[in-house]
Amino acid sequence: AIFDAVEIDGTEVTRASVHNLSIMEKLELGLLDSISIIKANQVIPQIEENFTRSNNLIIPDKCPACGGYAMIDQLNDSKFLYCTNPDCSAKIIKKFSHFVSRDAMNIDGLSDATLEKLIDEGFLETFDDIYNLDGHEDEIINLEGFGKRSYEKLIAAIEKSRTVKMENFLYALGIDEVGRSASKTISKYFNGNWFAFEGAIINNFSFGDLNDFGTTTNRNIYDWYNNSSERNMWIKLTYILNFIEPKQNINAVDLLGKVFVVTGSVNTFKNRNELEELILSMGGKLSGSVSKNTSYLINNDT
């Protein structure tokens, strides 16, 4: 939701998350409504109340990017709007954008605009094509907004990404409901060994038995694995990449069984990832939201 700027806890806020149709329906949102805003957990802007409840938004039946049919689906008691076209241009760009993002493969220089150009030129069809971009040097240098220096920096970032942690690679693949926290949990269980993870799938390992996992996540992992085009793509990537296996922390028992939620700024560390990795290395668990199972909430270095 985009609205007139308001100040909350010392920061100016102009946007709030409205991440599914059920929230829109519950709040009866519409254009020019008057709303109140809060920060959930003092971090995430959310709409608390809609005073005018115009409910005048028309839910599209076609994708604005590709014109494909838009479908409403139900997931865990919430409604979501999907484009049904698997070849939707927006989906393809966002898949690549997720793959190269900081918490995934961390390839600097591949913005959505740059990805769109490279996809339109036919240089990128699957993720492994990223590691063959050096075969298009002259064409890329001559693209609008590029040059020799930009190309060299991009190739250097791609080469650097060849060495990666399993958790980052797993997150980069974009498996449904396997986000950062779930990827870290899986990587920790298999000690960062991708091939142990793959072997577990072959032997019908139940991922639903892992902490905070369920039957849906387990099914999504196996649906992804059984997709032949997906499997062929990441098999190619495993020959390209070098996986970093984490060192075992001898103090792992210190936080065994404790559940942490990390929000806000953590200036004692370089970033939140560094703190989360320390928690996991010491036997702790991570959660994306506060619940009755939360042991500690770490917010803004407190």
The C-alpha atoms of residue 285 and residue 276 are separated, in whole angstroms, by 9
Can you give the C-alpha Rg of the chain in angstroms? 21
For the ranges 2-11, 25-34, 138-147, 251-260, the maximum mean pLDDT occurs at 25-34
**Residue 261: per-residue pLDDT:** 84
The C-alpha atoms of residue 222 and residue 225 are separated, in whole angstroms, by 5
Beta strand 35-40 pairing with 163-165: unpaired
Q: Is pLDDT at 251 greater than 60 in this prediction?
A: no
Nearest Cα to Cα of residue 149 among 160, 157, 141: 141
**Residue 253: per-residue pLDDT:** 55
**Residue 107: per-residue pLDDT:** 96
Could you report the per-residue pLDDT of 187-233, keeping only the tens digit for each?
Answer: 988 888 998 999 999 989 998 888 778 888 999 999 999 988 888 88
Q: What percent of the chain has pLDDT over 90?
A: 55
**Beta-carbon-side half-sphere exposure of residue 286 (alpha carbons within 13 Å):** 23
**Residue 158: per-residue pLDDT:** 96
CA-to-CA dists, residue 166 to 46, 169, 190, 192, 231, angstroms: 33, 5, 9, 5, 16
Interacting residues of 129 by C-beta distance below 8 A, sequence separation 6+: 123
Q: What is the overall mean pLDDT for the chain?
A: 88
Which residue has better confidence, 57 or 43?
57
**Residue 254: per-residue pLDDT:** 66
The C-alpha atoms of residue 120 and residue 43 are separated, in whole angstroms, by 37
Q: What percent of the chain has pLDDT over 70?
A: 93
Give the model's confidence band at 268: pLDDT under 50 very low, under 70 low, under 90 confident, else very high.
Answer: low
Nearest Cα to Cα of residue 1 among 35, 41, 25: 35
Could you report the per-residue pLDDT of 114-170, keeping only the tens digit for each?
Answer: 999 999 999 999 999 999 999 999 999 999 888 999 999 999 999 999 999 999 999
